[in-house]
């Protein structure tokens, strides 16, 4: 089964003699082509959830399936491949490498995985052009606006053709107009390329672009009924 399925995932951190429960039996299913939003206060466990799905950290208990793979059962080598090939991360600040051009931000990751080709190069150009950056390919990050930098980050997340997109507050550093543009773009790409995507956001106005909304509180994930589905 493709997409993301989490069943009763718990994550505890040990801090000296005390234990912090960052996630408490969180369950969520996101199918290919769907964008789910998670809203909730700071410290409620949102980033922990994304880090577990992206296999950056291991849960204390529970089951994580991504694109039909049981993430908990992967070997260290399989995990490295999994992170590279199945997961695209978009973060709050775009985390672009300051001394690489827009095009190289995409191409370089691929070179590191040892398989850069002419087709990859063309795919990078096509992707950046589709995301409105066709005339910015040779620009450096400092020559771009905040919205453009996030569009590079989205292109970079899509470049390896992962099955999953994880966005952690991708609009936090953008003004309202750019925020709408960026989330619209994420939603459109998720549909078009049939990704399973989760976006953490503080911005209620972004929920209209999402297929599901969850509220996170004290590590518990609660599905929210959306206004639009009440009206329907």
Number of residues that bind ligand ADP (CB under 6 A): 12
* From candidates 13, 73, 202, 205, binder to ligand ADP by CB under 6 A: 13
Distance (Å, whole) CA 222 – CA 167: 19
Asked if 21 contacts 217 with a C-beta cutoff of 8 angstroms, the reply is no
Compute CA 116 distance to the chain's CA centroid, rounded to the nearest angstrom.
23
Asked if 38 contacts 51 with a C-beta cutoff of 8 angstroms, the reply is no
Name residues contacting ligand ADP, limited to 48-67 (CB under 6 A).
Answer: 48
Distance (Å, whole) CA 92 – CA 140: 19
CA separation, residue 149 to residues 75, 83, 96, 143, 220 (Å): 34, 22, 8, 9, 32
Q: Which does 155 bind (CB under 5 to 8 A by kind): Mg ion, ligand ADP, none?
A: none
The stretch among 42-50, 70-78, 138-146, 176-184 that binds ligand ADP (CB under 6 A) is 42-50
Distance (Å, whole) CA 101 – CA 147: 16
The stretch among 45-53, 124-132, 151-159, 181-189 that binds ligand ADP (CB under 6 A) is 45-53
Nearer residue to ligand ADP within complex by CB, 40 or 88: 40
Q: Which residue is nearest to Mg ion (CB)?
A: 47
Asked if 178 contacts 147 with a C-beta cutoff of 8 angstroms, the reply is yes
**CB 167 to Mg ion: min, Å:** 11
The stretch among 1-9, 15-23, 103-111, 172-180 that binds ligand ADP (CB under 6 A) is 15-23
Considering the rule CB under 6 A, would residue 15 count as an interface residue with ligand ADP?
yes
Nearer residue to Mg ion within complex by CB, 47 or 110: 47
Distance (Å, whole) CA 129 – CA 76: 36
Considering the rule CB under 5 A, would residue 47 count as an interface residue with Mg ion?
yes
Q: Which positions touch Mg ion (CB under 5 A)? A: 47
Q: Which positions touch ligand ADP (CB under 6 A)? A: 13, 15, 20, 22, 40, 42-48
């Amino acid at each position: 089964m493709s997409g993301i399925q989490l069943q009763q995932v718990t994550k505890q951190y040990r801090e000296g003699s005390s234990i912090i429960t960052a996630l408490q039996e969180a369950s969520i299913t996101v199918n290919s082509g769907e964008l789910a939003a998670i809203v909730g206060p700071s410290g409620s466990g949102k980033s922990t959830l994304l880090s577990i799905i992206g296999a950056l950290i291991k849960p204390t208990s529970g089951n994580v399936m991504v694109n039909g793979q049981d993430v908990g059962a992967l070997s260290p080598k399989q995990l490295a491949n999994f992170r590279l090939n199945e997961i695209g991360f978009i973060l709050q600040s775009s985390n672009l490498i300051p001394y690489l051009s827009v095009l190289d931000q995409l191409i370089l990751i691929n070179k590191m995985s040892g398989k850069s080709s002419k087709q990859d190069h063309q795919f990078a150009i096509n992707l950046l052009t589709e995301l409105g950056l066709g005339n910015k390919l040779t620009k450096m990050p400092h020559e771009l606006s905040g919205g453009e930098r996030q569009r590079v980050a989205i292109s970079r997340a899509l470049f390896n053709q992962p099955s999953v997109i994880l966005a952690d507050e991708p609009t936090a550093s953008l003004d309202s107009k750019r925020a709408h543009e960026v989330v619209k773009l994420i939603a459109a790409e998720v549909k078009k390329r049939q990704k399973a995507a989760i976006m953490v956001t503080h911005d209620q106005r972004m929920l209209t672009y999402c297929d599901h909304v969850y509220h996170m509180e004290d590590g518990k994930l609660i599905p929210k009924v959306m206004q639009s589905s009440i009206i329907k």
